[in-house]
Chains A and B, each alone.
Chain A
Amino acid sequence: GENVEQHPSTLSVQEGDSAVIKCTYSDSASNYFPWYKQELGKGPQLIIDIRSNVGEKKDQRIAVTLNKTAKHFSLHITETQPEDSAVYFCAAPQGGADGLTFGKGTHLIIQP
């Protein structure tokens, strides 16, 4: 099955700076890579995703890059704001099944 590794586990950045979270996956057949944001007391919510036929996707301050050869993908958040503080999860399809395998999460802290 799929194995997803996520780093770092905690990331603290100054408000206005950029944040980068990295993930690697093991199954070369994986073709869909979503990122979820989880706020305290809530369920994860999709913020951006990328498919294997593109190398980068942007949505305002958020971007995701994918390197299929190296089997890693990254989340980039620019001009960070206090409301970006949350736990972020990367994910990949769980082998041949329809569920997702999640990374262990990154606790992003935006320092004022």
Chain B
Amino acid sequence: DAGVIQSPRHEVTEMGQEVTLRCKPISGHDYLFWYRQTMMRGLELLIYFNNNVPIDDSGMPEDRFSAKMPNASFSTLKIQPSEPRDSAVYFCASTGHRQGTEAFFGQGTRLTVV
């Protein structure tokens, strides 16, 4: 397996524009997580899915953020409208089971909002 695949690797956009980040989890994994990494706040869990169903979105910072998982092999994280403070590295991770197993992370998407 190629691991968790995220696209794009880098995204630069202007404030107010819509941004869509994409993730393909490892085949067979039931859980998919979206994390955000910044210098100030470190790694924060935004939302996670189990069997394509959103379970906990309490980490999503604002209504401008939304995430979907239309099938087992694809998820998106959308920011609309984007703001400079959304600049961060966004990671997708997947696991095969609940707590207590390895989470496999993608390479991340570095988002810069100018």
Q: Name A's B-contacting residues (CB within 8 A).
A: 31-32, 34, 36, 41-46, 49, 51, 89, 93-94, 97-105
- Interface size, chain B (Cβ < 8 Å): 23
Within 8 A of A (CB), among B36-55: 42-43, 45, 48, 50, 55
Q: Is the CB of B99 within 8 A of A98?
A: yes
CA distance A58 to B7 in the complex (A): 36
Q: Determine how close the nearest CB of chain B comes to the CB of A45; give it in whole angstroms.
A: 7
Q: Is the interface of B mostly helix, strand, loop or mixed?
A: strand
Contact with B100, one of A42, A51, A103, A105 (Cβ below 8 angstroms): A51
CA distance A93 to B45 in the complex (A): 11
* Chain A residues, CB < 8 A from B13: none
Q: Which partner residue on chain B sits nearest A97 by CB separation? A: B56
Given contacts A32-B100, A103-B42, contact A98 B106 (CB under 8 A): no
Q: Is the CB of A89 within 8 A of B43?
A: yes
Q: Is the CB of B99 within 8 A of A46?
A: no
Q: Is the CB of B103 within 8 A of A100?
A: yes
Contact with B45, one of A31, A41, A94, A105 (Cβ below 8 angstroms): A94
Q: Is the CB of A99 within 8 A of B43?
A: no
* Chain B residues, CB < 8 A from A103: 42
Q: Is B25 an interface residue (CB 8 A)?
A: no
Q: Is the CB of A100 within 8 A of B45?
A: yes
Q: Could you list 29 A-B pairs, sorted by A, with CB under 8 Å?
A: A31-B100, A32-B100, A34-B102, A42-B107, A42-B108, A43-B91, A43-B93, A43-B105, A43-B107, A44-B91, A44-B105, A46-B102, A46-B103, A49-B102, A89-B42, A93-B100, A94-B45, A97-B45, A97-B48, A97-B55, A98-B31, A98-B48, A98-B95, A99-B48, A99-B56, A100-B103, A103-B42, A104-B42, A105-B43
